[in-house]
Protein backbone atom coordinates (compact mmCIF):
# COMPACT_ATOMS: atom_id res chain seq x y z
CA UNK A 1 0.00 0.00 0.00
CA UNK A 2 1.39 3.38 -1.02
CA UNK A 3 1.68 6.03 1.66
CA UNK A 4 1.84 9.78 1.31
CA UNK A 5 5.35 11.07 1.98
CA UNK A 6 5.18 14.15 4.21
CA UNK A 7 8.88 14.46 5.01
CA UNK A 8 11.26 16.39 2.73
CA UNK A 9 11.75 14.30 -0.40
CA UNK A 10 13.02 16.65 -3.13
CA UNK A 11 16.75 16.60 -3.85
CA UNK A 12 16.70 20.33 -4.73
CA UNK A 13 13.63 21.94 -3.13
CA UNK A 14 14.87 25.50 -3.65
CA UNK A 15 15.53 24.80 -7.33
CA UNK A 16 12.04 23.37 -7.76
CA UNK A 17 10.49 26.33 -5.94
CA UNK A 18 12.33 28.75 -8.22
CA UNK A 19 11.20 26.80 -11.28
CA UNK A 20 7.60 26.89 -10.04
CA UNK A 21 7.75 30.65 -9.43
CA UNK A 22 9.29 31.21 -12.87
CA UNK A 23 6.48 29.20 -14.47
CA UNK A 24 4.04 31.78 -13.09
CA UNK A 25 5.96 34.83 -14.31
CA UNK A 26 3.93 37.00 -16.65
CA UNK A 27 0.67 35.21 -15.91
CA UNK A 28 -2.47 36.96 -14.74
CA UNK A 29 -4.12 35.74 -11.53
CA UNK A 30 -6.63 33.80 -13.64
CA UNK A 31 -3.89 32.22 -15.76
CA UNK A 32 -1.87 31.39 -12.65
CA UNK A 33 -4.88 29.72 -11.02
CA UNK A 34 -5.51 27.72 -14.22
CA UNK A 35 -1.83 26.71 -14.35
CA UNK A 36 -2.01 25.52 -10.73
CA UNK A 37 -5.15 23.49 -11.49
CA UNK A 38 -3.49 21.84 -14.50
CA UNK A 39 -0.37 21.09 -12.48
CA UNK A 40 -2.40 19.53 -9.65
CA UNK A 41 -4.39 17.37 -12.06
CA UNK A 42 -1.23 16.32 -13.93
CA UNK A 43 0.49 15.29 -10.69
CA UNK A 44 -2.67 13.56 -9.40
CA UNK A 45 -2.84 11.57 -12.62
CA UNK A 46 0.83 10.64 -12.24
CA UNK A 47 0.29 9.47 -8.64
CA UNK A 48 -2.83 7.56 -9.68
CA UNK A 49 -3.58 6.22 -6.19
CA UNK A 50 -6.87 7.49 -4.75
CA UNK A 51 -5.87 6.64 -1.18
CA UNK A 52 -2.70 8.71 -1.48
CA UNK A 53 -4.60 11.55 -3.14
CA UNK A 54 -7.31 11.56 -0.46
CA UNK A 55 -4.63 11.61 2.23
CA UNK A 56 -2.94 14.52 0.44
CA UNK A 57 -6.20 16.47 0.32
CA UNK A 58 -6.65 15.99 4.06
CA UNK A 59 -3.03 16.94 4.78
CA UNK A 60 -3.38 20.11 2.72
CA UNK A 61 -6.37 21.29 4.76
Residue 15 maps to a domain: no
Model confidence at 1: pLDDT above 80: no
Residue 46 maps to a domain: yes
Cβ density class 23-57: b for 16+ within 10 Å, e for less: eeeeeeeeeeeeeeeeeeeeeeeeeeeeebbeebe
Residue 13 maps to a domain: no
**What pLDDT band is residue 9 in, cutting at 50, 70 and 90?**
very high
Residue 6 maps to a domain: no
What is the pTM for the complete model shown? Answer: 0.87
User: What's the domain count of the chain?
Assistant: 1
Residue 59 maps to a domain: yes
Helix boundaries (H) for 4-49: 13-24, 29-47
Residue 33 maps to a domain: yes
Domain of 58, in residue numbers: 27-61
Residue 48 maps to a domain: yes
pLDDT in tens, 14-55: 999 999 999 999 999 999 999 999 999 999 999 999 999 999
Residue 18 maps to a domain: no
Amino acid sequence: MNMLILTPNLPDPDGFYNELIQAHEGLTKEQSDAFNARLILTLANHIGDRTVLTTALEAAK
